[in-house]
Structure 1
């Protein structure tokens, strides 16, 4: 077991989740799908950093796929469904519910169960 490779597969959903939060923050500049909004968005710092994070994530994903079977690697992408709402709660003050917590527990259990198989 290579700790660096295992760490990357765990870091990946965090990078994508951070990108999602930044995309949400940058969405304030999108009034409509018109040229003016797109130009304003292209100058938005949050949007630019989110794109950079997604580029880094894409490169990491290719590296991860070189070292893990797709069916094992993709399990960990499910962590994004836990991390994004948690980050939106922390950074955007969006609410969390007990249903979310129950769903998050199911996702973690599912990843553990499938990984152990």
Structure 2
């Protein structure tokens, strides 16, 4: 795994919580509007932005996978997904439990154990 591959994977892991925040904002906006479902969905600008973000994220993931094996890149996707609750606790003031903190720490340890041998070859 080259340094640029690591940077790409780290950037990708940051795109996942951003996308989830965009979807949560869309959901909050959706709940405060009225009218037929189709109209609320089609006129929800936050939802349109969230979908566009994930389309770009999927293309970015494709680019990453053209450069390296899935087994090397996927731990970064897991890290990005696992960081969603951290971001939601900051942005939306959602509560996190002590169990989450322990589990997140273990996940980071696991990520380090999986990625470190690839980085320091």
TM-score (norm 1): 0.86
For residues 114 and 5 of structure 1, do their structure 2 counterparts lie closer, same or farther at Cα, with a shift above 3 Å needed?
A: closer
**How many residues are aligned here?**
114
Q: Which fold has the larger relative contact order, with Cα–Cα distance below 8 Å and residues 6 or more apart in sequence? A: 2
Distance, in Å, in 1 between the alignment partners of 2:4 and 2:115 is: 18
Q: How far 1:4 moved relative to its partner?
A: 3.3
Note the alpha carbon deviations across 1:31-51, whole angstroms, 9 max, x for none.
Answer: 9xxx92232122212111111
CA contact 1:88–1:94 (8 Å) conserved in 2: yes
Structure 2 residue 100 is matched with structure 1 residue 85: no
CA contact 1:16–1:53 (8 Å) conserved in 2: no
Distance, in Å, in 1 between the alignment partners of 2:14 and 2:42 is: 23
Aligned alpha-carbon RMSD (Å): 1.9
Aligned ranges for residues 1-117 of structure 1 at < 5 Å?
Answer: 2-28=2-28, 29=30, 36-117=36-117
Structure 2, unpaired ranges of 5+: none
Q: How far 1:22 moved relative to its partner?
A: 1.2
TM-score (norm 2): 0.83
Give every structure 1 segment of 4 or more consecutive aligned residues whose post-TM-superposition deviation is greater than 3 Å: 1-4
